[in-house]
Amino acid sequence: MSSFRPETLQQQLAVPAAEAAQRLLGSTLVRQLDGATCRLKIVETEAYDASDAASHSNWGITPRTAVMFGPAGFAYVYFTYGRHHCFNIVTGQPGAGSAILIRALEPLEGVALLEQNRPGHSGLDLTNGPAKLCQALQIDKRLYGHDLGQPPLWLELSPPLSRQLITTTTRIGISQAKDTAWRFYITGNPYVSKL
């Protein structure tokens, strides 16, 4: 389990959205599921906060977005397009309405279970997109508001990556604030969703 206490995790993620999105790259997401443990490296993120027209929190606190306005280090999970879940990590100070969409993960351990959860898919196709990784890890709205310092889903922060290892670009699949360069990924990583 994470060597960081939840308070420390919250403190380290209580930074502005774009900074947190880069800070999360290279860190490990751990999922306990069906008696097995899956470990995956975060390789692609997108930042959102309440000042951002593309963010769910831009409209203020609602039942859907309430967790985004709380302390950092909790899960914001939402359902989209009537069929997919997306997993976000709440960041920033309470009230910021800030969360980081996890767009892609690189499996490190537990690949067989990930493949079982995504029948007919393997290799790069397992977790190279936000809906794919949620299906592979069985992340759904039952994990909304979950403390990411605790099982069965937790975050192990790694030291920040050098800026030279990170590519910055605009976000994907949004209609508002399309020119905001708040998408970040580990340069050259094959699990990135779209280059």
Structure tokens at 137: 């890890």
Q: What is the pLDDT of residue 195?
A: 65
Question: pTM to 2 decimals?
Answer: 0.92
Q: What is the pLDDT of residue 6?
A: 44
Tell me how long the chain is.
195
Q: What is the pLDDT of residue 5?
A: 46
Cα–Cα distance between 116 and 177 in angstroms, integer?
Answer: 37
Closest CA to 28 of 2, 10, 49, 54: 2
Cα 16 to the chain's mean position, in Å? 15
The SS3 assignment for 45 reads strand
Angle, helices 17-24 vs 6-13, to 10°: value is: 120
Q: What is the pLDDT of residue 4?
A: 42
Sequential DSSP letters for 123-155: GGGGTSSHHHHHHHHT--GGGTT-BTTSTTEEE
Cα–Cα distance between 159 and 27 in angstroms, integer?
Answer: 8
User: Pairing between strand 153-156 and 98-109?
Assistant: unpaired
Q: What is the pLDDT of residue 60?
A: 79
- Split the chain (195 residues) into runs of 10 and give each run's mean pLDDT: 58 94 98 94 94 74 89 93 89 93 97 95 95 97 96 96 95 79 95 86
Q: What is the pLDDT of residue 7?
A: 53
C-beta of residue 40 within 8 angstroms of C-beta of residue 108: yes
CA atoms lying within 13 Å on the CB side of residue 70? 15
Closest CA to 76 of 12, 7, 130, 128: 130
- Supply φ then ψ for residue 194, to 5 degrees: -145, 130
Q: Which amino acid is at 30?
A: V
Which residues pair with residue 160 across a beta bridge?
none
Closest CA to 98 of 187, 1, 10, 5: 10
Number of H helices, E strands in the chain: 4, 8
